[in-house]
A and B are shown apart, each in its own frame.
Chain A
């Protein structure tokens, strides 16, 4: 079974600084997808960034980027120029491609507090 581990239950960062959230996963699959989801106090789950395992280039979305280390099974999220609106719970997710269904596995989450 696949497992996703987020070892930082809670983190804090000053506004405008950079923070990195860690995520490791365990799988024997070679083809899969990785995601970071943000859950603000509104509880809505919002996709932040996606990485295909077959792509070596790290995904980037504006201030959000990932450091994908396939051999180490590591998928960290870097948030640059942190903003107050980044305060949220962040979930790392692994998606296994399968028939008939693609299965998702989520980490336990990291609560990020951005301080003014």
Chain B
């Protein structure tokens, strides 16, 4: 089954404790992205990747890091989480050509206290 998986689905942590949210896709997509969803703001792009070892900042990259060492994986790293990073996070992948549809993971609800 074609899918994007994220782990964990829920996470409660404390300020300053490094964490990683994993993302993996099995569709051989070139493009992968991370978004955060906040009430009244829709989805905002954090980082994106065009292919292995090629990443770039989205609209709200501050406080986040990413890496793309393998085509299927695109982890999101919060090295020193703060309460303003409490949000719902989505990973998405899409093909470089074709229908351009983005396939989303199930979301990760992060709470930073």
| A interface list, Cβ under 8 A from B | 4, 6, 9, 33, 35, 37, 42-45, 47, 50, 91, 93, 95, 100-104, 106-109
Contacts and interface: CB of A to CB of B under 8 A. Distances in A.
Contact of B106 (A43, A103, A104): A43
Interface stretch (B12-20, B43-51, B65-73, B79-87): B43-51
A53 to B, nearest CB: 12
Nearest to B44: A106
Interface residues of B, number: 25
Contacts of B102: 35, 45, 47, 104
Contacts of B54: 100
A95 B92 CA distance: 14
Interface in B20-71: 31, 33, 35, 40-45, 48, 50, 54, 56
Contacts of B94: 102
Given A101-B48, A101-B50, A44 B104 contact: yes
Contacts, number: 52
B75 interface: no
A9 B41 CA distance: 11
14 contacts: A37-B104, A42-B106, A43-B88, A43-B106, A43-B107, A45-B102, A45-B107, A47-B102, A50-B99, A91-B42, A100-B54, A101-B31, A101-B56, A108-B42
A109 B94 CA distance: 21
